[in-house]
């Protein structure tokens, strides 16, 4: 009997809980809001009590802070991207046919013109074949010329004349083909420039698909960089840019040479080309460069170090300034509206006029109302 009463009781409670589930959720939310409000009130009261304790405790050591003047000055914002040096030509040279290197006619660092011979491969077998075909062609040509004269004098048959002509032309084409093949054993510079690297040595094998030399043309040197599409309206042909080569310790100003029209759909960027024609530096292909372009400027702005701007739990940006009351340096919280930031400097749009002093060092260890000691 007791078991039945227990089962009925549990079922009744379960039904009751199910029907009141919606009302219970609303109650919980209301209770949470009430507790949060109570928590905020208690936090404020604790802060006030802390201030009173600090004011009453004459033995307490005051927090040590440093002050700086709020600056009013010009502000510039820059777009920063990274690019790499490229040249008008950077050609890897590959042999068209396999062979053994028998001669290297240039040295690394040599200046060459397009078409200059750089290297020769062993073509003795093919050269012998060419000599043999040239001899056959010489004979076939003599026979053809005789048959042609006889045919004009109506002597001999047309078949003999046509056979002689065909044999001469076939050997002529064969000789031309072999000469082209022999030419493949002579490796030439595809562009004018400087021989930057020679890979094989005399006696080593050269194979198609394996480079034997590199020639670089420095007549046209530039930087190529990828820039986010949001700066399409900022970067145009002729835009001034600052270029810094960290590895060379050099920095200078130049112009954008060309802006590509195509936007890469995979990373939403477009290419810019920066002129280096008048730059005297030890520039090399693929040398990294830091590029900065001014995209925003203010002639006069209230500017603070970004590191002193804090944010409260309500999402408000604020800074601490000092007010002198009764010969005491007291901390005051000032809510500010921030603007653009660049290199640890932030524009303050609203909240400060520029005649205040803000807490720099020590700003993270004080709160509003604290009496502090200012380090001179």
What's the confidence (pLDDT) of residue 5? 43
- Decide yes or no: CATH 1.10.460.10 for domain 92-206: no
pLDDT tens for 82-106 read 999 998 788 999 999 999 999 999 9
Q: What percent of the chain has pLDDT over 90?
A: 48
The residue that leads in pLDDT, 182 or 12, is 182
Q: What is the pLDDT of residues 199-229, one digit of tens each?
A: 999 999 999 999 999 999 888 889 999 999 9
Q: What confidence score (pLDDT) does residue 116 get?
A: 94
| DSSP β-ladder status, 371-374 and 64-65 | parallel
Q: What pLDDT is recorded for position 279?
A: 80
Number of other residues whose CB lies within 10 A of the CB of residue 146: 13
Judge residue 287's burial from the number of C-beta atoms within 10 Å of its C-beta, 0-12 exposed, 13-18 middle, 19 or more buried: middle
> What integer pLDDT is reported at residue 22 of this predicted model?
60
| Average model confidence (pLDDT) across the chain | 86
CATH entry 2.40.30.170 includes domain 79-88+216-297: yes
Instruction: Compute the distance between CA of residue 170 and CA of residue 164 in angstroms, rounded to an integer.
Output: 10
CATH topology of domain 61-75+299-374: 2.40.420
pLDDT single digits (tens) 278-328? 787 788 889 999 999 998 899 999 999 999 999 988 889 999 998 887 778
The predicted structure's pLDDT at residue 151: 79
The arithmetic mean of pLDDT across residues 233-255, rounded, is: 91
What per-residue confidence (pLDDT) applies to 263?
94
Segment 11-53, tens digit of pLDDT:
444 445 554 556 677 788 888 877 877 887 887 788 778 767 7
* pTM for the whole structure: 0.59
Greater confidence (117 vs 12) lies with 117
């Amino acid at each position: 009997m007791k078991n039945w009463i227990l089962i009925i009781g549990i079922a009744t409670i379960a039904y009751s809980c199910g029907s009141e589930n919606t009302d219970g959720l609303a109650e919980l939310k209301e209770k949470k809001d009430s507790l949060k409000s109570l928590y905020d009130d208690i936090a404020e009261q604790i802060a006030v009590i802390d201030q009173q304790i600090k004011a009453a405790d004459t033995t307490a050591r005051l927090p040590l802070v440093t002050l700086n003047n709020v600056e009013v000055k010009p502000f510039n914002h820059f777009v920063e991207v990274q690019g790499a040096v490229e040249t008008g030509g950077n050609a890897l040279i590959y042999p068209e046919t396999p062979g053994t290197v028998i001669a290297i006619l240039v040295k690394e660092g040599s200046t060459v013109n397009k078409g200059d011979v750089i290297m020769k491969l062993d073509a003795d077998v093919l050269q012998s074949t060419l000599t043999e075909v040239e001899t056959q062609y010489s004979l076939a040509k003599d026979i053809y010329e005789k048959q042609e004269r006889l045919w004009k004098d109506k002597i001999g048959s047309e078949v003999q004349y046509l056979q002689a002509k065909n044999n001469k032309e076939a050997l002529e084409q064969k000789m031309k083909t072999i000469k082209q093949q022999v030419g493949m054993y002579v490796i030439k510079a595809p562009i004018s420039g400087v021989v930057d690297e020679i890979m094989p040595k005399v006696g080593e094998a050269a194979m198609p698909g394996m480079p034997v030399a590199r020639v670089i043309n420095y007549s046209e040197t530039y930087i190529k960089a990828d820039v986010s599409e949001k700066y399409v309206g900022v970067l145009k042909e002729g835009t001034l840019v600052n270029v810094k080569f960290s590895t060379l310790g050099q920095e200078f100003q130049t112009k954008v040479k060309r802006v590509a029209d195509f936007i890469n759909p995979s990373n939403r960027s477009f290419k810019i080309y920066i002129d280096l024609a008048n730059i005297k530096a030890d520039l090399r292909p693929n040398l990294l460069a830091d590029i900065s372009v001014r995209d925003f400027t203010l002639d006069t702005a209230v500017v603070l170090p970004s590191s002193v701007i804090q944010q409260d739990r309500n999402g408000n940006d604020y800074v601490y300034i000092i007010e002198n009351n009764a010969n005491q340096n007291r901390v005051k919280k000032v809510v500010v509206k921030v603007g653009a930031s660049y290199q640890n400097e932030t524009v303050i749009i609203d909240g400060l006029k520029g005649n205040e002093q803000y807490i720099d060092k020590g700003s993270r260890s004080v709160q509003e109302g604290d009496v502090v000691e200012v380090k001179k």
